[in-house]
Amino acid sequence: MQDKCTTVLVYTREAMSRSNCYPYGYRRLGSDGMEVVDDSWRVRLPSLLWIPVFVFGALLYFVDIFEIEFLSLHPTIESIKDFTYDIHKGFAINTPGCKIPEMDPFDPSVQKFIEPPTPVECNKGVPALFEANLTSIYITRSSLPAYNVSDINDLRCCYWVIQRIEPKKNQYDVFMSKSSMCKYINTSAEIKDEFIKVQCFLDNATTYVDTFSFVPIKNSTKSKVIRSKPLNVLVVGLDAVSRLNLHRQMPDTLKYLQQLEAVEMLGYNKVGDNTFPNLIPVLTGLFEDELIKSCWPTTKSFFDNCTFLWNHFKSKGFVTAYGEDSSWMGLFNYQRHGFQKQATDYAYNYFNRYAETHIGNAHKMNVNQCEGARMVYKDLLEYIKKFVVTMNNNSLPFFGFFWGASLSHDYLNQPKLGDPVYLKFFQELQEEGHLNNTALVLMSDHGIRWGGIRQTYQGRMEERLPFVFVVLPTWYRNNYDRAYSNLKRNARRLTTPFDLHETLYDLLDPYGLSGENLKTANKSRGISFFRDITKYRTCEDAGIASHWCACQQSKELDKNSSVVIDVATFAVNYINLELQGYAQCANLTLLDILNARLMSHSGDIEGLNNIQDYMITIKTIPGEAIFEVTVRYFEIDHKYAVIGTISRLNLYGKQSACITDFHLKLYCFCKNFL
């Protein structure tokens, strides 16, 4: 049933075995967008044609062996381009340990899911009455008619100061206080506070409510002393955008990043299902279960005892900031208790929570797209700008980690709306000199996890391959050329959130990244982008579960075959076992098998020679849930096991309202809907 090329491949150092199985650029999609495996071409090939193939193979063999030496002798950009061109044709990643096909963002199989984004109207078209700059708020006279103000003297406006309150044990980290006094505002006011709520009255009735955030210098940040010239770190995240979706939706931003010589990590592979299991590795270097063991014993615990990247930067004298929008479902807050003590010097997420609660609107699926008359994601970007400008103007070194979900969390095409806005954001940062001393990382956590595109082969691959760009100042690239050429080479290697963690950690000491210091253990789970990531690295080496591994080649199977039916039945039973003890959830039965593939691992994986991984997509009832499950078959003892997490490809919506466990929500169909 398996052909030679789709069984577990044992790679020798010979490039031949590679070209034998995966002719460069050869990949075909069937009408359903699924990859079609067709090896009949091999038989038809006249034998003379093999000669140039052998010669080419031998050439690759030498390039293979001497690659590292070659790079360190001639670490110029041109030479890297020259010899990588042919190797990479048709592949995003083409190493002995991992092969990921290069896919077209506008491939016919995904074309039908690409639509213009839906325009957003904030506040039903009523404009804001106040605007803010770095330090002040001021009235916008042109908005007065929209608020029925004919004489500005009839209008009374004032502002309250909003502050976070520490939660007590077992409480959620959601409390904010409002000052008792509302300070009078005439037409403008300089604001020295961090967060404010503005309210205006006309004829004693409230006619306008708004919220604004600022970045005042705090006592805690005033006395930062740092000896050498620091390299600031700014991470800007955009939730649920695959690398290819960034290419599709944000071409202008992409072009600008390329102008900034951003390095795009083509083989950045996610390690968990959704945001939490992919960002916790970035921020802590740990998997979720390791975090639980080390510092976060229950979902009711605060995260205070865990060590995040910002803790390291803080102890080095950096000012730290964390901020996210859609913070009701925030990283530390969605069914979790957050922090007791504020984790970073600045934390925009608390402001966002207050703003969305009080003036959130244009609600769509999971997010408020607007707070008052402003789009939420733009407000986050403006806050980031304020933070960066303030820190630079006061010569304060900073580490900022920001995460935007409101633009991109739920829809494939909405990020397009943000293209001009992100472009302008990066342009301003660059043109005003804010990137001179800053390492910038633009990243996502995964691609879109549900909807039509997710049920195509390409959509499945994209879900596992989010974008990551690294932008370094020119002087740093020039002075630390070894670290920079490693970064560029690793753009074509298999990489993970654990590596990004090591990369950001390396930036604690950016001037140490040269010579012997760059040596690293080949087999460690996380390896900094600035160091040598071996091309022999497999998903297993990198800590990527088979279910999430984008390196695997696969072969479509007959859905009616007995092994596929066995596997599907096993998967449904497995889900039912998980739900055991939750009497409110219905027992699921298999309705249909939508897709079945046999996966083959790239690279030689020790001890995994007698295993077969099946990836199946099934539909169950009640609820018509669609699941994607990787089931491993152990030939020796004829046993099956589910590998990694089960993906839910359509939304569960209210179906699982009767259960709070966020893992089981994916599976549970509440009996009360029967």
Cα 305 to Cα 175, 295, 400, distances in angstroms = 20, 5, 20
Q: How far apart are the first and last CA of the chain?
A: 41
Residues 542-601 binding ligand NAG (CB under 6 A) are: 558-560, 572, 576, 587, 589
Query: Strand, helix or coil at 601?
Result: coil
| Nearest residue (CB) to ligand NAG, 84 versus 569 | 569
Per-residue x/- marks for ligand NAG, 1-40, CB under 6 A? ----------------------------------------
Which is it for the CA torsion 172, 173, 174, 178, positive or negative?
Answer: positive
Note whether 304 binds ligand NAG by CB under 6 A: yes
List the interface residues with ligand NAG, window 393-412 (CB under 6 A): 393-394
Q: Give 361 or 394: the residue with its C-beta nearer to ligand NAG.
A: 394
Closer Cβ to ligand NAG, 241 or 668, answer by number: 668
> Is the CB of 446 or the CB of 555 nearer to ligand NAG?
555
243 in Cβ contact with 550 (< 8 Å): no
Regarding beta strands 183-185 and 155-164, do their DSSP bridges make them parallel or antiparallel, or are they unpaired? antiparallel
- DSSP letter string, 242-260: BHHHHHHH-HHHHHHHHHT
At residue 462, φ and ψ (nearest 5 deg) are: -60, -40
CB of 559 to ligand NAG, least distance (A): 6
Structure token digits, residue 249: 């939706």
Q: Whole-number minimum distance, CB 26 to ligand NAG, in Å? A: 25
* Residue number, 234 or 448, with CB nearest to ligand NAG: 234
Q: Which of 292, 534, 582, 657 binds ligand NAG (CB under 6 A)?
A: 534
Query: Which residue in the set 69, 78, 151, 203 belongs to the binding site for ligand NAG (CB under 6 A)?
Result: 203
Nearby residues of 479 by Cβ (< 8 Å), 6 or more positions away: none
Reduced to 3 states, what is the DSSP secondary structure of residue 670? strand
For ligand NAG, the binding residue among 219, 223, 315, 672 (CB under 6 A) is 219
Name the minimum Å distance from CB 393 to ligand NAG: 4
Q: Which stretch binds ligand NAG (CB under 6 A): 181-189, 237-245, 410-418, 660-668?
A: 181-189
| Part of the chain binding ligand NAG (CB under 6 A), chosen from 22-30, 73-81, 296-304, 325-333 | 296-304
By CB under 6 A, what part of segment 634-653 binds ligand NAG? none
Q: How many CA atoms lie within 13 A of 502 on its CB side?
A: 20
Name the closest residue to ligand NAG (Cβ). Answer: 433
**Element housing 105 (H / E):** none
Count of residues interacting with ligand NAG (CB under 6 A):
34
Q: 457 in helix, strand or coil?
A: helix
Instruction: Answer whether 282's CB lies under 8 Å from 504's CB.
Output: yes
204 is a site residue for ligand NAG (CB under 6 A): yes
Q: What is the DSSP string of 66-104?
A: HHHHHHHH---HHHHHHHHHHHHTTEEEEETTEEEE---
Check binding of 206 to ligand NAG (CB under 6 A): no
- Considering beta carbons, is residue 412 or 618 the nearer one to ligand NAG? 618
Task: Please identify which residue in 160, 302, 346, 529 interacts with ligand NAG, judged by CB under 6 A.
Answer: 302
**Binding residue for ligand NAG (CB under 6 A) from 258, 305, 609, 660?**
305
Would you say 411 or 627 has its CB closer to ligand NAG? 627
* For ligand NAG, the closer CB: 53 or 126: 126
Under the binding rule (CB under 6 A), the answer on residue 49 touching ligand NAG is: no
Q: Is 521 a binder of ligand NAG (CB under 6 A)?
A: yes
Encoded tokens for 59: 């050439």
Residue 11, phi then psi, degrees to nearest 5: -90, 125
Q: How far is residue 611 from each of residues 75, 99, 487, 605, measured CA to CA in Å?
A: 41, 20, 34, 10
Residues in 115-154 at the binding interface with ligand NAG, rule: CB under 6 A: 133-136, 138, 147-148
Beta-carbon contacts of residue 656 (< 8 Å; ≥ 6 apart): 585, 664, 665, 666, 667, 668, 669, 670
Residue among 522, 609, 610, 660 that touches ligand NAG (CB under 6 A): 522
Nearer to ligand NAG, 171 or 394 (CB): 394
**For 582, phi and psi rounded to 5 degrees?**
-110, 85
Binding mask 406-445 for ligand NAG (x = CB under 6 A): ---------------------------x--x---------
Question: Restricting to residues 183-202, which ones interact with ligand NAG according to CB under 6 A?
Answer: 186-188
SS3 674: coil
| Burial (Cβ within 10 Å: 0-12, 13-18, ≥19) of residue 328 | middle
Nearest-approach distance from CB 576 to ligand NAG, in angstroms:
5
Q: Does 660 bind ligand NAG (CB under 6 A)?
A: no
Closest Cα partner for 662 from 364, 368, 348, 331?
331
The residues that touch ligand NAG, with contacts defined as CB under 6 A, are 133-136, 138, 147-148, 186-188, 203-204, 207, 219, 301-302, 304-305, 340, 393-394, 433, 436, 519, 521-522, 534, 558-560, 572, 576, 587, 589
